[in-house]
Amino acid sequence: MLQGKGVSERMRLTTWLCDQRRLGIDRPEITPDLINTLSSIPRLSVTERIGRGLLKIVSVVPRVDRKFDFGDSNAHEANEFLAETECEDRDEAFGLLQIMKKMALLFSDDGTPLRFELTPQGWARYEELSAQGASSSQGFVAMWFGDEVTSAYADGIKPAIEDAGYRALRIDDKEHIDKIDDQIIAEIRRSRFVVADFSCPPGNVRGGVYYEAGFAHGLRIPVFYTCRQSSFQDVHFDTRQYAHIFWNDHAELRDKLRHRISAVLGDGPLKT
């Protein structure tokens, strides 16, 4: 299934597997749908990799009087660190450990440069990360509000999100007295993912949906791209590189979107 995929896609898949197991899924299912979306899943930022590295180190050496050994004699735990931090090889992982050391999160003696222990600052940062809790269960929906697609949301997108175990929110569902643009930005920030539907009347591209999808992408929030098949010619070439779900009817939209969300993120906390 990974034939033709590069190192970058393989690292993304490893990150997905680590996240699935952290959610308690012992045997995550790798599907062709997931493989086809790997290139659209954002890479982890350095800050995220450092946080995941700290969590992994403490899971390996939970006692303050023990050290994390990155040497060859402890290859299994070193490889787990590579997997959790989305590093390509041991050299990159060691470089990440050195950055963590320069940030005063880790300490190692000159005589034993491959054995690391958390500093007081490192333990404090670990406790902050541990207290952040589970991710949001909200899926934000960006789409045209025209009558032609109202039923697509009610009968396709919303039930698909709920089937996957998350809560759907379209901004017109929320009561507020604030400027709508501010509410959109705030709700995207609170969301686990965004569904961006680019269906539109012929030649009438919905620029706001592109903005909301781009904003989420910049925040490294996963975006699921959907579009009615008849609107394919209006999808901008800058976003055609991402794996769109093209649909002809609401049942097809519901089924495909639900499977895509579950494949990429796993079932949400509201799954029944």
**Between residues 66 and 97, the one the model is more confident about:** 97
Q: How confident is the model at residue 239 (pLDDT cuts 50, 70, 90)?
A: low
pLDDT in tens, 1-33: 888 888 888 999 998 888 877 766 777 888 888
- pLDDT recorded at residue 102: 95
Amino acid at 144: W
CATH 3.40.50.450 residue spans of the chain: 138-265
The arithmetic mean of pLDDT across residues 159-182, rounded, is 78
CA–CA distance, 198 with 227 (Å, rounded to integer): 5
Instruction: Supply the pLDDT for residue 159.
Output: 96
Arithmetic mean of pLDDT, 148-174 = 88
Q: Which residue has the higher pLDDT, 272 or 109?
A: 109
Q: What is the pLDDT of residues 56-90, one digit of tens each?
A: 999 888 888 888 989 877 788 889 999 999 999 99
CATH code reported for the domain at 138-265: 3.40.50.450
Which of 29-33, 99-103, 190-194 ranks highest by mean pLDDT?
A: 99-103
Residues of the chain with CATH 1.10.10: 7-130
Question: Bridge-partner residues for 244, per DSSP?
Answer: 225
The pLDDT > 70 percentage for the chain reads: 90
Contact 105, 122 (CB under 8 A): yes
Q: What is the model's pTM?
A: 0.58
CB contact at 8 A, 10 and 41: no
For residue 93, pLDDT over 80 is answered with yes
Sign of CA dihedral 228, 199, 160, 217: positive
Give the span between the Cα atoms of 14 and 20, in whole angstroms: 10
pLDDT score of 176: 47
- Grade residue 248 by pLDDT with cuts at 50, 70 and 90: very high
- pLDDT tops 70 at residue 184: yes
* Mean pLDDT estimate for the chain: 84
Distance CA(22)–CA(151), nearest Å, equals 36
**Mean pLDDT value of segment 163-186:** 76
User: CATH for 7-130?
Assistant: 1.10.10
**Residue 265 confidence (pLDDT):** 83
